[in-house]
């Protein structure tokens, strides 16, 4: 079965990368709908031509409701406000949804969870397989070194990223806190300035760097007395994120309604292999 995919933010950097990943998937999936915001100057443009190729017949539209019935799954990498609108439409149309948007407030996150409760829904801060392996490595290191190290998380992204820390950095913090049996929010220290006093070993430091065209670098530092362990993931292209999201979308259409993550996708496929 060829999975019919729709993507939001189709004309953006991630949208175009998703379109490329779908095109490279062969017969596994097909880009059927490309959605952009109503004020976009690219409404009506052909995605194939936008990607520098031949016309594909998939025209950019702002009306997700009108084309939702043609889709098997929607992949959304936009902003929280738009994602919430799209989630309401997916719920009304019983359409599975993959979300890679980050930067939700607690209220927005709760609203999103409530909106998609009746459909298969996969959300991750990062869909790259290597990052998801990094989550596991960080959790294992935190368990092994608990109480003997200071833990700091440093992330670097391009100048256009609008939320900080990144969703991936927050997920890394969650992995550390989970290993310690703690709540990451309660342990988080975001940057430091002034006379802060001695560091609390129980805290998790978060530091966000923005500049240039960096796709995404994440490092977790476990600093002990006499030694330091660093676990780093560097993304050189958004293609790893896009391929992971497309992989998740093809997997999600076979699942029952419920909430899933990229960890679930990878775990089941590891079992099958």
Residue 71 burial class via C-beta count within 10 angstroms: exposed 0-12, middle 13-18, buried 19 and up: buried
Catalytic residue among 86, 143, 161, 233: 161
Q: What torsion do the CA atoms of 60, 19, 94, 39 make, to the nearest 10 degrees?
A: -30
Catalytic residue among 86, 157, 218, 233: 157
The reply to whether omega before 165 is within 30° of 0 (cis) is yes
The answer to whether 158 is a known catalytic residue is no
Residue indicated by tokens 């240039």: 212
Instruction: Name, in order, each residue with C-beta under 8 angstroms of 222's C-beta and a sequence gap of 6 or more.
Output: 141, 142, 145, 149, 150, 151, 228, 229, 230, 231
What's CA 77's distance to the chain center, in Å? 8
Task: Quote the CA–CA distance of 96 and 234 in Å, as a whole number.
Answer: 30
The answer to whether 161 is a known catalytic residue is yes
Task: Quote the CA–CA distance of 135 and 173 in Å, as a whole number.
Answer: 9
Catalytic (active-site) positions: 157, 161
């Amino acid at each position: 079965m060829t999975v019919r995919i729709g993507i939001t933010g189709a004309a953006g950097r991630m949208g175009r990368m998703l379109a490329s990943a779908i095109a490279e998937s062969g017969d596994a999936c097909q880009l059927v709908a490309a959605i952009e915001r109503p004020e976009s100057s690219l409404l009506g443009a052909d995605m194939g031509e936008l990607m520098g190729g031949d016309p594909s017949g998939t025209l950019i539209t702002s009306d997700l409701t009108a084309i939702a019935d043609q889709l098997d799954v929607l992949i959304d990498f936009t902003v929280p406000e738009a994602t919430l609108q799209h989630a309401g439409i997916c719920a009304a149309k019983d359409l599975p949804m993959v979300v890679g948007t980050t930067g939700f407030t607690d209220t927005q996150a709760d609203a999103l969870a409530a909106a998609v409760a009746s459909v298969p829904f996969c959300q991750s801060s990062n869909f790259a397989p290597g990052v998801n392996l990094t989550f596991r490595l960080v959790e294992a290191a935190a368990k092994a070194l608990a109480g003997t190290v200071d833990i700091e998380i440093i992330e670097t992204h391009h100048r256009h990223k609008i939320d900080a820390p990144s969703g991936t950095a927050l997920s890394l913090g969650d992995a550390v806190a989970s290993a310690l049996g703690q709540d990451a929010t309660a342990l988080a220290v975001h940057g430091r300035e002034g006379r802060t006093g001695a560091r609390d070993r129980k805290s998790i430091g978060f530091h966000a760097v923005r500049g240039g065209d960096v796709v995404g670098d994440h490092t977790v530092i476990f600093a002990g007395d006499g030694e330091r362990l660093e676990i780093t993931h560097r993304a050189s292209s958004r293609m790893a994120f896009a391929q992971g999201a497309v992989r998740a979308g093809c997997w999600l259409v076979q699942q029952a309604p419920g909430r899933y993550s990229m960890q679930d996708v990878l775990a089941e496929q590891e079992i099958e292999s």
